Amino acid sequence: MSNQITIVEVEKDTQIQKSYKTYLDSLGEFTAPEFMVTAETIEPVSDTLRAIKLSMKEIEERRKEITNPLDEAKKAAMLQQNKLIAPMQQIEKQLKMKVGDYLNEKQRLQEEEDRRLREAEIAKKEAAKAEIMEQAEMNESDLALEDAIKIDEEIEELKEAPITKVATGHRGTFSGVYQKTVKKWRLVDIKLVPAEFLILDEKQVGALVRAGRKEIPGIRIWDEKITVSK
């Protein structure tokens, strides 16, 4: 497949210029602001509308001659790309899952170690408190009681402190491999979703109306005359 890119200047295309000239020639006096459709002009106006429609169709067909090969080339290139990257994406997905498992386990071990160290520190402070309380009872010391209260406060702070999280969300970790937190969602109950998040399927509604549907809850259906040219 050639990767040559051709720049097409549509306005300079001779076939399009011919169709466009036909359109201009058909207008005549009909573009004047004061022009009115009457019994005498209805036929030439109809002819003009047909000429305009034909010109637009010819221009569109010429455009398709230019763009369809480009669309096909793009489609073929995308298929080739997908064929090449599909196995890479699969391997990438598997490796990311394994990296995630490793980092999650690392975080779990870090939290476990932090919890162990905290419990050891709490036990140490509780032992110190017990010793101070024993001395306070023996010596009837108010200062010792104050020290015990202070240790109590430190123990409570340790108990309420959050478990340390492993810093895996920084770029550059493990030569560019890292974890980050992203927001995700899934539908639970469509009936509870606010109306502002629901999108009307206009294509389906139009098809039903054209097929003869008379009533759709929340939608007004009516007949309207429009001008068409053959």
Alpha-helix residue ranges (DSSP H) falling in the chain:
14-27, 42-139, 142-160, 202-210
Q: What string of H, E and C letters represents the secondary structure of 143-194?
A: HHHHHHHHHHHHHHHHHHCCCCCCCCCCCCCCCCCCCCCCCCCCCCCHHHCC
Q: What six digits make up the tokens of 53?
A: 């429609």
Q: SS3 of 216, please?
A: strand
Its domain, for residue 147, covers: 10-183
Residue at 222: amino acid letter:
W
pLDDT for residue 111: 87
In a domain, 176, yes or no: yes
Between CA 40 and CA 29 the distance in angstroms is 14
- For the chain, the domain total comes to 1
In a domain, 143, yes or no: yes
pLDDT for residue 91: 94
pLDDT for residue 16: 73
pLDDT by position in tens, the chain (length 230): 445 555 556 667 777 777 777 777 767 677 778 888 899 989 988 888 888 888 888 888 888 988 999 999 999 999 999 999 999 999 999 998 898 898 889 888 988 988 888 888 888 888 888 888 777 777 766 667 777 778 888 888 887 877 665 554 444 455 667 777 888 889 999 999 998 999 999 999 999 999 999 999 999 999 998 888 77
In a domain, 221, yes or no: no
Output the pTM of the full model. 0.51
In a domain, 30, yes or no: yes
Between CA 92 and CA 86 the distance in angstroms is 10
Between CA 53 and CA 2 the distance in angstroms is 36
Other C-beta atoms lying within 10 Å of the C-beta of residue 49 = 16
Contact 229, 50 (CB under 8 A): yes
